[in-house]
Amino acid sequence: MADAADRRLPVYDGGGPLLRKAFPDHWSFLLGELALYSLVLLLLTGVWLTFFFKPEMRDVVYDGSYRPLRGVRMSTAFASTLDISFDVRGGLLIRQLHHWAALVFVAAIGLHLLRIFFTGAFRRPRELNWVIGVTLFAIALAEGFAGYSLPDDLLSGTGLRIAQGIMLSIPVAGTYLALFVFGSQFPGHDMVPRLYSLHILLLPGALVALVSVHLMLVFHLKHTQWRGPGRSNANAVGKPLYPRFTASSAGLSLTVFGVLSVLAGIAQINPVWVYGPYRPDQASTGSQPDWYVGFLEGALRLVPPWETTIAGHTLMWNVLLPAVVLPALLFLVLYAYPFVEQRFTGEWRKERHLCDRPRERPVRTGLGVAGVTFYGVLLLAGGNDVIAATFRISVNSLTWVLRIALIVAPVLAFALTRALCHALVAAEHERLTEGEETGEVRQTLAGGYEAGHRPVTSFRPGAPRIPVSPPARRPGSRTGTPDPEHPAPEHRGR
């Protein structure tokens, strides 16, 4: 029966190798799947919301179910958002599900990139996939900001006003760029329709296209994997795509859908009716953007009010540097890092399919932790007014503390992380050399005492199973360059 079916539709002949493709069985490899299933949920809920949302800036007088805003003049976009929330059956649930999925989507991409960075999975032949991943992260930020701004409420309108100020800070071209984006003087009547086109057509199309290319490259290049018995650069060990990986991945997708649905039902998010419709002459106190653009808000708050006037033109360094130059440099570093590291370490000539443990690459790990610390300080600075009001401290003093921390904290984080990596490798070398302590103490013939040890039998994924020279004896470990005399071992089974 199966042979007859194969003659009609040769699935197994053509797709057999694909169905048997191995996927490593480790939780850290699921972060990319979290992003994928969040994107699926975003597309499904987004399509549903397009049936009810009206992307218009025409003024109307609200007469819907939410009584506190009845009789208030607002845009059609804001009124339709209120209708979705209060008059469409299940509308508020879908709105909040869409918003929660967006937050998880961006977070999952960020964590996935961190996993790839700290394990060195960006090295040859996967540099292009790293570039695609960073591009996906940038587009996800833009897509999230566009969707966040569509309701035309007071909070999102304040964010758009900041975005316009950032555009105007660009020398010469800033005015033309702002007019092109908004269609007229801010806020104008074209703002929401243009954002709507970006949000439902251009940016989702780019996301789906890049995700497709990313998945095709993953299938073509095969997954990276942790070192271990039977694993090498020449093979991939794990669950076959069908049926084991398909079953576990389907279970993960249902879990993602279920958890996000529960969040949407019990955890309120973006209550636009509390903020009210956007008015250019108002700004809400303590307004905070979604977390993924909080670092940009923090950068704007930390830079002193520097301005320069040249030939009658004012350069607003306090906006240009933190909101244009800094993000551009951050993404430039992310794009270039795989190529720069491989040139410094000499690894660009050989393919790498085994993951590094972060402790074995102290310089790379230190740089990664320093970058995360830098981002964390900016994120805290984005809420400096809320923090100051909550703890009853001076917002000016807190701002100066965060300015200093932005410079000092990443340096300290790098030094501490690198030292910790060296210490962990040294402790692991001692454990493999001497064995695990049994808790027994014996007296020697000379009258001294020594602790009892037994051979190591349990190993974490990627951990060596034979003693490796500690970093103090490896000159290459200070720069991240592999030491040719002490290469990382291909693990052997016992």
Mean pLDDT (the chain, rounded)? 86
Which parts of 25-96 are beta strand (E)? 59-61, 73-75
Give the mean pLDDT of 376-403.
94
Name the burial class of residue 193, with classes exposed (0-12), middle (13-18) and buried (19+) by CB atoms within 10 angstroms of its CB: middle
Q: Which residue has the tokens 């650069």?
A: 233
Residue 472 has pLDDT above 50, yes or no: no
CB count in 10 Å sphere of residue 93: 15
Cis peptide before 455 (omega within 30 of 0): no
- Helices 384-391 and 395-434: angle between axes, nearest 10 degrees: 100
- Highest-confidence range of 104-113, 241-250, 278-287, 451-460, by mean pLDDT? 104-113
**Whole-number Å distance between alpha carbons of 267 and 396:** 33
Higher pLDDT, 170 or 477: 170
Residue 33 contacts residue 104 (beta carbons within 8 Å): no
Provide the residue type at 217 as one letter: L
Fill in the DSSP letter of residue 67. G
Q: Is the pLDDT of residue 481 over 50?
A: no
Distance between CA atoms of 276 and 62, rounded to whole angstroms? 11
What 3-state class would DSSP assign to 91? helix
Share of the chain above pLDDT 70, in %: 89
Query: What is the sign of the dihedral through the CA atoms of 79, 85, 89 and 90?
Result: positive
Residue predicted with more confidence, 466 or 60:
60
pLDDT band, residue 392 (cuts 50/70/90): very high
117-131, 226-240, 384-398, 470-484: the lowest-pLDDT one: 470-484
- The conformational region for residue 159 under phi > 0 = left, psi -120 to 50 = alpha, else beta, is alpha
Of 463, 461, 468, which Cα lies nearest the Cα of 430? 468
Q: Are 365 and 431 in contact (CB under 8 A)?
A: no
Kindly state the average pLDDT of the residues 402-430. 94
Of 37, 55, 34, 35, the C-alpha closest to 45 is 37
Q: In which band, very low, low, confident or very high, does the pLDDT at 485 lie, cut at 50, 70 and 90?
A: very low
- What was the pLDDT predicted at 87? 94
Which residue is associated with the tokens 């933190």? 322
Least confident of 61-70, 127-136, 288-297, 362-371: 288-297
Q: What is the DSSP letter of 69?
A: G
CB 178 within 8 A of CB 164: yes
The pLDDT of residue 347: 86
| Complete DSSP assignment for 9-27 | S-HHHHHHHHHT-EE---G
Better-scored residue on pLDDT, 289 or 477: 289
Residue 320 has pLDDT above 80, yes or no: yes
Measured in Å, how far apart are the chain's first and last C-alpha atoms?
A: 44
Query: Does the pLDDT of residue 5 top 60, yes or no?
Result: no
Report the alpha-carbon distance of residue 451 to residue 436 in Å, rounded. 10
User: CA nearest 360: which of 113, 25, 28, 118?
Assistant: 118
pLDDT value, residue 482: 47
User: Of 61, 59, 270, 62, whose CA–CA distance to 154 is shortest?
Assistant: 270
Secondary structure (DSSP) of 257-270? HHHHHHHHHHS---
pLDDT band for position 16 (50/70/90)?
A: low
Confidence band, pLDDT 50/70/90 cuts, at residue 470: low
Query: Using alpha carbons only, what angle is made at residue 228 by residues 225 and 231, rounded to the nearest 5 degrees?
Result: 60
Residue 232 is classified by DSSP as -
429 token code pair = 């070398």
Cα(491)–Cα(494) distance, rounded to whole angstroms? Answer: 10
The mean pLDDT of 39-59, rounded to a whole number, is: 95
Q: What is the CA radius of gyration of the chain?
A: 27
Give the CA distances from residue 358 to residues 165, 364, 368, 486, in Å, rounded to whole numbers and listed in that order. 40, 8, 10, 17
pTM, full prediction:
0.87
Quick one: pLDDT at residue 183?
82
Closest alpha carbon to 265 in 92, 147, 101: 92
Question: Over 90: is that where the pLDDT of 119 sits?
Answer: yes
Q: What is the pLDDT of residue 457?
A: 74
